[in-house]
Structure formats: structure tokens, C-alpha cells
Amino acid sequence: MLAKNNNQVQILPMKTAKKRSSDKKITLVDVADASGVSAITVSRVINQPEKVSESLRIQVQKAIDSLGYIPNQHASSLASSKSKVIGVAIPSLSNIVFNEVLRGIYDVMGAAGYKVLLVDTHYSPLEEEKMVRTLLSQSPEGLIITGGDQTKACQNFLHKAHIPIVQIMELLADPIDMNVGFAHGRAGFDVVKHLLGQGYQRIGFIGARMDPRVQQRMQGYKLALEQAGKFEKNYIVTTPEPSSIGVGGELFKSLMASTSGVVDAVFCVNDDLALGALFEAQRMNIRVPQDMAICGFNDIEAAAYVNPSLTSVSAGRYEMGVQASEMIIRVLNDKPIESKKVDMGYEIKKRASTSRI
């Protein structure tokens, strides 16, 4: 600090401020003192709440809330050898399809006292490998991962993790541990059989992103048409771009141009593409379903509310998240599971967009 004295500048000593008691980091002992119990009891309330009475939990939680105490979860996991963390890897946080799956996971895991650590793999096996390494570095007690398209390196360290792992969204011939999903190829096959049953003969296909599950749907489509003697290679239009309603419209225009407009039905690998195809068909004055049938996949909410309403494949995504979570919790609690592979099945929600008959 500077002070003037007889035209001279003097340097005055700075006063050292006392550290306020409120600046002190709140500890587990502080919570114990405030709640009138031992530190061991506070630790048990935080890490093993099922082992204490509800009244004691409320008593300690009031002290925690009042003091603003943040438990050191890393220290707790070291002490108990349990992190109470479940890792979840999905291909896209922006894809609405995964919202219901995640809701099922969060509902079950939250109720059981587990925290969900979520990562986005961007539909890339290499990014998935990196993200799974990150998840495993956090010592999760279990892992939920999408599909079976992992790199060999990723498969290797998943096998060596020695934790319960559930691969979701599709059925796999050789899962790493447990598997919950449905047969995308069979669903694609059944969509075509439905369209043929409605009297449509020249069935096109539009797809985007072309991840393994989309390719399985396309293989089912091809197989059904080959068995019916109606498969035409130029009836397929795809793009590696991400799906969107706009992309669906563009792909529909490309399909109509490449086939000279002879197709009378189109199977879209998801509802975004199907909505885009529907809107573009209406702009082109193509009547749906009289002149053209349009079928989607995933049965998002909008499918039932557009006009005409959109036929789509529903696969119970919320239930899939619930099932995967419950399997992991049962394993962690040393309880038996009925099967390590669960086929959730699917349903073709038949609506106006494919109802010619």
C-alpha cells in the first residue's frame, strides 16, 4: 500500500486477511458433528444407504444439504471397491432413437443407487474404442454398449474388464457377455412382406448413415424381394450422410429419378427419412397410400400424427434400456438371470401410409 508523507512515498505493510471459517472445505467429520452421528455412520449413509434406517438417512442428508458437503466419490470407491458407476456408450446423443433407451437405463439405475456415465461414440468404432477406454478408466461396475461393431482392441479390453457388460439394440451371434436387442434383418424382411401383402409390387429402399443395423435392415429387404422374384438393384438409394427429414426428401427424389418413377412403395430405414419421403411425395402430387406406400422404422412419436399416419417398426426402446439395466444389477447382486441373450422383438405399427387394401 502507498502513502504520502512530506512529499515522500512510503510503502506501508499489507494486512493479512484472516481466512474465513466459511472458506474451509467441509469434511465428512463436519457432517458427522452436525448430524450427531459417527463419521462411519455418515460414510455408510452415503455409500450403503440401504443398510441404514430411513430416519437416519434423512437426519444425515439434512446435515449434508445444510453444510453443502460434496462426497469424495473417488475416495469412497477406493474404500469400498465399488464405484456405483455404470458406463453407457451410445452412437449419438442427438439421435432421438436413443432417448427412450437412456430413459429406461436412468430410471432403473437411479432407483438402484447407481450413477450413469454416458459417452457418445459418433457411430465410429475407433471413437468407441477411445470412449470405452475412458469409461473403464473410471472403474465402472458395469457397462452398456450399443451393438457389436467393436474393434478387436476394444473387444479385448472389454473381455478383460471382468464386469457385467450388455450389448444393446441388436441381437448378436457372439456377444461379449450379455445381449438385449432385436433382429433388424428379420424386421426388414417383414416390412417387405407387409408391403407385398398390401398389393405393392415395386418396392424401393432408402437409407442413410449405413451403420451395421441399417445394413441388416437392407439385407432383410433384399432377401424378401429376392424370394418374391422382385428385387431390383436400382431400387436402392443410400448415402453415408446422417439421417434427417431433408435427406429423406432428397433420397426420395433420387429414387424416383433413377427408377423413372416406377416404384410404388418405399421402405425407409428410419422415420426421419420416411417423413422426408412423405413430404416430398406430397410436393410431387404423389398420393400416399393410393399411388405410393411409405414405411419407416423406429416409430417415433411424429409417425402417428402426420397425415397420412406413418407405418413404422416399433421395438420397445424404453423396455430395452430397462432390461439391460436390470440384468447388470442382478449380476452385481449375485442373482441369477434367465438368459444372457434377450430378444425384445418388434412390431410393425400398420398405419394409413401403407394401407392400400
| Positions of the chain with pLDDT under 70 | 1-23, 72-81, 357
Q: Model's pTM, two decimal places?
A: 0.80
The string of pLDDT tens digits covering residues 227-262 is: 999 999 999 999 999 999 999 999 999 999 999 999
pLDDT for position 76 = 57
pLDDT for position 14 = 43
Domain 184-314 matching CATH 3.40.50.2300: the answer reads: yes
pLDDT for position 4 = 47
- Half-sphere exposure (CA, 13 Å, Cβ side) for 243? 26
How far apart CA 73 and CA 283 sit, in angstroms, is 57
Residue 45 class from Cβ within 10 Å (0-12 exposed, 13-18 middle, 19+ buried)?
Answer: buried
How far apart CA 205 and CA 249 sit, in angstroms, is 13
**Contact partners, residue 293, CB within 8 Å, separation at least 6:** 195, 198, 200, 264, 265, 266, 311, 353, 354, 356
Q: Which of 187, 96, 88 is nearest to 146 (CA)?
A: 88
Question: Could you tell me where in the chain the CATH 1.10.260.40 domains are found?
Answer: 19-79
pLDDT for position 75 = 58
Radius of gyration of the chain (CA): 28
Domain 19-79 matching CATH 1.10.10.10: the answer reads: no
Question: Could you tell me where in the chain the CATH 3.40.50.2300 domains are found?
Answer: 83-182+318-345, 184-314
pLDDT for position 294 = 98
The string of pLDDT tens digits covering residues 92-123 is: 998 999 999 999 999 999 999 999 999 999 99
User: 83-182+318-345: which CATH number, 3.40.50.300, 3.40.50.2300, 3.50.90.10, 3.40.50.1000?
Assistant: 3.40.50.2300
Residue 332, H or E segment: helix 317-332
